[in-house]
Amino acid sequence: MRDLLVSLLVLGLLPSCFRKPFVGLCLFSLLAYMRLQDLSWGFAREVRWSFYVAIVMFAGALVSARDRSYMAKDWRCYVMILLMGVVGVSVVIAGQYDDNVTGGFTEFGKIIIISLFTTGIVTNRERLRLLIWIIALSFGFFSLKSGLVGIATLGQLQIIQGPGGMLKDNNDFALALAMGVPMLWHIASSEKRTSLRRLFFLLVPMACITIMMTHSRGGFLALGAAVLYLAWRGRNRFAAIGTITFLTMAAALMVPSSYSERILSIAEYEQDASSRARLKAWGIAREMILERPLFGVGFSGFQREYSRFAPDEEGTILRDEQKVHVAHNSYLQIWAECGTLAFLLYVLLIFGSFWDLRKVRKLASSRYYSSWILNYAAMFEASMAAFVVGGVFLNRAHFDLFYHWVALVVAFSIIARRQLADSTMYPERSTGPGKLMRVKRRGLGRAGLAPRPATSGGA
């Protein structure tokens, strides 16, 4: 029955995906993040629905008279294209073309193409809002589902793997949910309908419980970064940080001992076998970078080359595949596998996005009717902070959501600047000729609220 419903849904929407490519992007995102096909049990699980949706969506964009902007003219788009090219060169230079390499690079190329297409087709606030809702509700669905199970079992059940696709690994799943927490909080804070506000506020702790059930230490740190960033951008940051501290102490008394021991092992890395293996992998990555600094050992080549750089205690070369580890660090992973240029481009995407969000927020704070822009900027920054921190401990250099998130930041920046440039809609805040007035920042307040217009007597 589930297979039939998924098939009818996708097939029924394909004509709309052709007529309106943005509908195709929404459906593609739903399949990527909610994994509808993996919720079925039969033939629908094996069908490449995302591929077919993408083909129809791009075909519709080619013939569409309205959606012919395939990519925004933003420097980060060109950086992503250059990054894909550099990664491709690393594949050629390494000379390894097994299924893991070719398949992985093909998937990476798809991620970049979809991200670039997102920057070109998300051209207004309504489209941006709808796409964020789809991603947030996808993560909220799994948060509610797993969170209720966690409450029923008192947190004793551990999530070994996620729903599938880019979320199959439990660490990937935890990182995605940590990035999703700011989205859920943003929607809950800005939603005017009481029932929806309560639902999304409920999904936030459910997401936290689900992250706990994965036992992912990287996910825990990513969640901490997102929550602290949201508190810092809030209207009363000190009260928010105090509340978070209290809730954290209360949660520490209720979580299962297995989880608390897992988290406390972060500080006892010298005694923890997993932490020692991670430190060793970082050292191996360093050796790879020093030997091949320009283009690395090749895309997806870390595990293949690991044994050559990891002699055991007797000085022989490790051949046991069980002793071979991944880089356990997104930055070292892309640096060791794809070289210094790829690493610099990757870091440029991260810091460039933070810098652009900072500039948009600064511009918005000097205008009227801009609370939604401040809210979105805080949400994007908090989710990006979650990825940056989680990436230090997780092997996620080619994580789908990161590149899609950069694309959404690009789209948001263009939309926000375009609206702020309209002086009739966003006049400068002033109390008189040439005098600017500071208005209290709204942090994560409701998106529809705005200060009163300036009058002759003041704002």
Report the chain's terminal Cα–Cα distance, integer Å: 59
Q: Are 388 and 351 in contact (CB under 8 A)?
A: no
Domain ranges in the chain are 1-68, 70-459
At residue 428, φ and ψ (nearest 5 deg) are -65, 145
Instruction: Report the distance separating Cα 422 and Cα 427, nearest Å.
Output: 8
Residue showing tokens 């990035």:
179
Q: What is the mean pLDDT of the chain?
A: 83
Convert the pLDDT of each residue in 215-272 to its tens digit: 888 899 999 999 999 888 877 777 777 777 777 777 777 777 777 777 777 766 556 6
Instruction: Report the distance separating Cα 353 and Cα 361, nearest Å.
Output: 12
Convert the pLDDT of each residue in 26-77 to its tens digit: 999 999 998 888 888 788 888 888 999 999 999 998 887 665 678 899 999 9
Instruction: Report the distance separating Cα 370 and Cα 442, nearest Å.
Output: 9
Convert the pLDDT of each residue in 270-309 to its tens digit: 566 677 778 888 989 999 999 999 999 999 889 888 888 8
Residue 108 pLDDT exceeds 90: yes
pTM assigned to the model: 0.86
Q: Are 200 and 156 in contact (CB under 8 A)?
A: no
Higher pLDDT, 320 or 391: 391
Q: Are 374 and 364 in contact (CB under 8 A)?
A: yes
Which stretches of 35-133 are assigned E, i.e. beta strand? none
Whole-angstrom CA distances from 366 to 96, 118, 362 are 54, 29, 7
Whole-angstrom CA distances from 399 to 115, 172, 176, 178, 280 are 12, 8, 9, 14, 23
Instruction: Report the distance separating Cα 152 and Cα 407, nearest Å.
Output: 38
Convert the pLDDT of each residue in 312-364 to its tens digit: 544 444 444 445 578 889 999 999 999 999 999 999 999 999 999 999 998 88
Task: Output the pLDDT for position 443.
Answer: 39
Task: Output the pLDDT for position 436.
Answer: 38
Measuring CA to CA, which residue among 40, 38, 49, 42 is closest to residue 12?
Answer: 49
What secondary structure does DSSP assign to 427-445, as a single string? PBPEEETTEE------TT-
Measuring CA to CA, which residue among 209, 212, 153, 165 is closest to residue 184?
Answer: 209
Rounded to a whole number of angstroms, the CA Rg of the chain reads 23
Residue 448 pLDDT exceeds 70: no
